Structure 1
Amino acid sequence: MTAPVLAPAPRTPNDVPGWFWKVDQEAFDWFLDSQTAAGLTGDILELGTYLGRSAVLLGGHLRPGEKFTVCDLFDSSAPDEENAAEMAMSYRKTLTRQAFEANYLAFHERLPEVIQAPTSVLADGRVGAGSCRFVHVDASHLYEHVAGDIQVARAALAEDGLVVLDDYRSPHTPGVAAAVWEAVAVHGLRPVCLTPEKFYGTWGDAEAAKQALLARDWRGEGFRLDEDVIAGATVLRLAWDGVPPQPRPQRSAVRRLALDLLPPAVTRAIRRAR
C-alpha cells in the first residue's frame, strides 16, 4: 500500500490552508496579549480548527499552567445527515487529523489537547466551567450546532473571557447569524467588536474589552475602525483597508523658502501645476 503524500511543511502560518485573515490575526493577537497584560489567565479553546491556521496563532499565546484544547471531527463521520452534507460540500476531501497535527507541529513543540469528536460532546463538562479566557467557535454552520457551541463557550468562559464566532454574517451561513444574534438578544452575549468575518463578544465586561482594543492605533496602521450602536450599546467595527496611511512628504527648507519668497501668483501657479 502506498503511503499518503503529505503536503510540504508550512514555513509561515499563512501557508496553512484556511480562512483566517489579517484583521482577525491581529485582533486575536491584540486581545490575547491584552488579557495577559491585564493579568487574566485561563485556558484557550477552539471548536472547529480545520487544518490549524488559527490554532497555530492561539497556541503561541499559551502561558505556563494554561491549556489549549481543540475539538474537531477531522476525518471522523459526522453525527447527522445535515452535518455530513455540509462537510462533503466544504472540506471532507482535505480535512484530516494527520494534516492538522503536521501543520501545528511545524510551529510548536507539542500538540494541544485534541478531541476528535463533534463539538457537542463538550457539553458534558470535560472542559471545566469558567476555565477559559478565550474561545474560538468555527465548527458547523448549522443553526442547531452553532447555538449549542455558543452555550459550550458560555459555560467554559471565565467571567470576562472572550468568545469569537466565525461566519456570523456570510450569505451562505444564515444559521450562524441566527444563533449569534439570538445569543445577543436572549442569552446576554455582549458584542465587543465585529470584523468582516468574525463576531467578538463576552458575557462579562464588554466595555473593558472595547477599551483594550482602542488602546492600539489601528487607523494609523491601515485598518478601518468605526463605532456602531446595537440596542443602546456601542460596538466597534474593525477591517483591514490594505494600505497604511503614508506620511505627507516634507518639503526641504530651501524649497519652502523659495515658495515663500516668490510672488503669490507664481506660487499658486506652481502649486496648481503640482
Structure 2
Amino acid sequence: MTSQEPGRPASLDDVKGWFPETDQRLFTWFLERQDQLGESGDLVELGSYLGKSAILMGRHLRDGETFTVCDLFDSDASDDPNRAEMARSYATLTRAAFEENYRAFHDRLPEIVQGPTSSILDHVQPESCRFVHVDASHLYEHVRGDIRAAQVMLRPGGVIVCDDYRSEHTPGVSAAVWEAVITGGLRPVCITPMKLYGTWGDSGPVQDDLLNWLEKQEDVWHEVQQVAGRRLVRVKKKRAKKPDKHKEKVRRLEERLAATEESLAETRHLLASVRGSVSFRVGRAVTALPRAMRGGRRR
C-alpha cells in the first residue's frame, strides 16, 4: 500500500460509490474462498465509477494474475442513451479520480481499458477469469452484452456479480440478469439488496460453504428460496432492534433507585462513624447538663 497523503482516502468509507458493507463482506468471502481452494484466474470489473469495489478486488489479486478494469470514465459514450445516462448519473466520474483513489490503497494500478465494455473481449482472453463484476451501463442491450462477455471470460466455476439487478431505476439490468438465469444457464448463488452472485458452474458446493459461513455471522440475515427450480440464498444485513421504550424507562428508573440506595447507605455509614467517634461522645457529655436543665425548666 502507498503512504497516505493529505486528501487521499484512508478507508473504503472515504471513497464515493455504492458498495454496501454486506456486499463488501461477500466479495471478500468469495475471493478468499477461491484463494483457499487454489482457484486461479484473473479479475475483471466492468464499470468502476470511482474505484470503491475495484480497491477491494485488488486486495485479492495474486502473483501472475491480472486485474482489468473497463470503464468509459470521462470518454464520450458511443450512443445517445448511454450519453444521457452518463450525464445523469456519472457526471463526476474521471479516470484521474479513479486512479488517485486506487493508488491510495495499492502500489500498482490495474490494467485500465478506457472505452465501452463491449470491447472487453479484445483485452481479456476467454476462460481466463475467476471473478467478474458487472456494474457498467443500466441499459438492457449493454448489460446483456456484458453478461455474455463475462460468460466467455470466466473459467468453469468462476463467479459473476451483477449490480442493480432489482433497482426500480434499472429495469434493463433486471431484464438482462434474469434472462441469463432463465434462458442463459446462469445459476444464482445468492442475492443481496443490490447484487446477484452467480456461476455457470455447479452452484451447490459454493452455496453449501456460503450457508455454513452465514450461520456464524450474527449481524447478517439470510434465508433460502427456490427460483426456477434452483436454490437461491437471500442475504442482507440484520436490522438493529428498536429499543423497547417501556423497558428503557424501567431500566433508567432502576439505575436511579440503585444510585439513591447507594448514596443513602454511604450516608448511614458516615453517620454511624461520626456517632462512634471520640469527639462525638465528648460533645454529648459536655452538652448533657445544659440539656437536662432546659428540660427541667419546661416541666
- Place the TM-score, normalised by the shorter chain, in its bin: 0.7 to 0.9
C-alpha distance after superposition, 1:45-95 (max 9, x if no partner) = 000000000000000001111110000000000010000000111012x10
Report the equivalent of 2:193.
196
- Residue 26 of structure 2 aligns with an amino acid whose one-letter code is A
Structure 1 runs of 4+ aligned residues shifted over 6 Å read none
Report the equivalent of 1:54.
53
Displacement of 1:33 in angstroms is 0.2
Displacement of 1:243 in angstroms is 4.3
Give the SS at the match of 1:221. coil
- Residue 181 of structure 1 aligns with an amino acid whose one-letter code is W
Contact 2:129 2:153 in 1 (8 A): yes
Give the whole-Å Cα distance in 2 for the aligned partners of 1:192 and 1:105: 32
Give the whole-Å Cα distance in 1 for the aligned partners of 2:185 and 2:148: 11
Choose which of 131, 137, 148 in structure 2 pairs with 1:134. Answer: 131
- Residue 73 of structure 1 aligns with an amino acid whose one-letter code is L
Give the whole-Å Cα distance in 2 for the aligned partners of 1:163 and 1:200: 6
Report the equivalent of 1:13.
12
Give the whole-Å Cα distance in 2 for the aligned partners of 1:59 and 1:69: 10
Report the equivalent of 2:291.
none
Give the whole-Å Cα distance in 2 for the aligned partners of 1:43 and 1:68: 6
Give the SS at the match of 1:115. strand
The 5 A counterparts of 1:1-274 are 8-92=7-91, 94-124=92-122, 126-218=123-215, 220-243=217-240
Give the whole-Å Cα distance in 1 for the aligned partners of 2:81 and 2:215: 40
Give the SS at the match of 1:212. helix
Displacement of 1:217 in angstroms is 3.7
Displacement of 1:218 in angstroms is 4.8
Give the whole-Å Cα distance in 1 for the aligned partners of 2:126 and 2:182: 23
Report the equivalent of 2:271.
none
Give the whole-Å Cα distance in 2 for the aligned partners of 1:13 and 1:88: 25
| Structure-2-length-normalised TM-score | 0.77
Contact 2:214 2:222 in 1 (8 A): no
How many percent identity over aligned positions?
56
Give the whole-Å Cα distance in 2 for the aligned partners of 1:57 and 1:171: 27
Displacement of 1:122 in angstroms is 1.4
C-alpha distance after superposition, 1:197-219 (max 9, x if no partner) = 00000000111221221231456
Displacement of 1:164 in angstroms is 0.1
Give the whole-Å Cα distance in 1 for the aligned partners of 2:215 and 2:81: 40
Give the whole-Å Cα distance in 2 for the aligned partners of 1:28 and 1:130: 20
Displacement of 1:142 in angstroms is 0.1
Aligned length, in residue pairs: 237
- Alpha carbon RMSD of aligned pairs, Å? 1.5
C-alpha distance after superposition, 1:143-202 (max 9, x if no partner) = 000000001100000000000000000000000000001101111000100000000000
C-alpha distance after superposition, 1:88-141 (max 9, x if no partner) = 11012x1000000000000000000000000001133x2111000000000000
Give the whole-Å Cα distance in 2 for the aligned partners of 1:88 and 1:8: 26
Give the whole-Å Cα distance in 1 for the aligned partners of 2:108 and 2:22: 27
- Residue 58 of structure 1 aligns with an amino acid whose one-letter code is M
Give the number of the structure whose residues are more often helix, by fraction: 2
Displacement of 1:232 in angstroms is 1.3
| Structure-1-length-normalised TM-score | 0.84
Contact 1:136 1:164 in 2 (8 A): yes
Give the SS at the match of 2:217. helix
Give the whole-Å Cα distance in 2 for the aligned partners of 1:179 and 1:220: 32
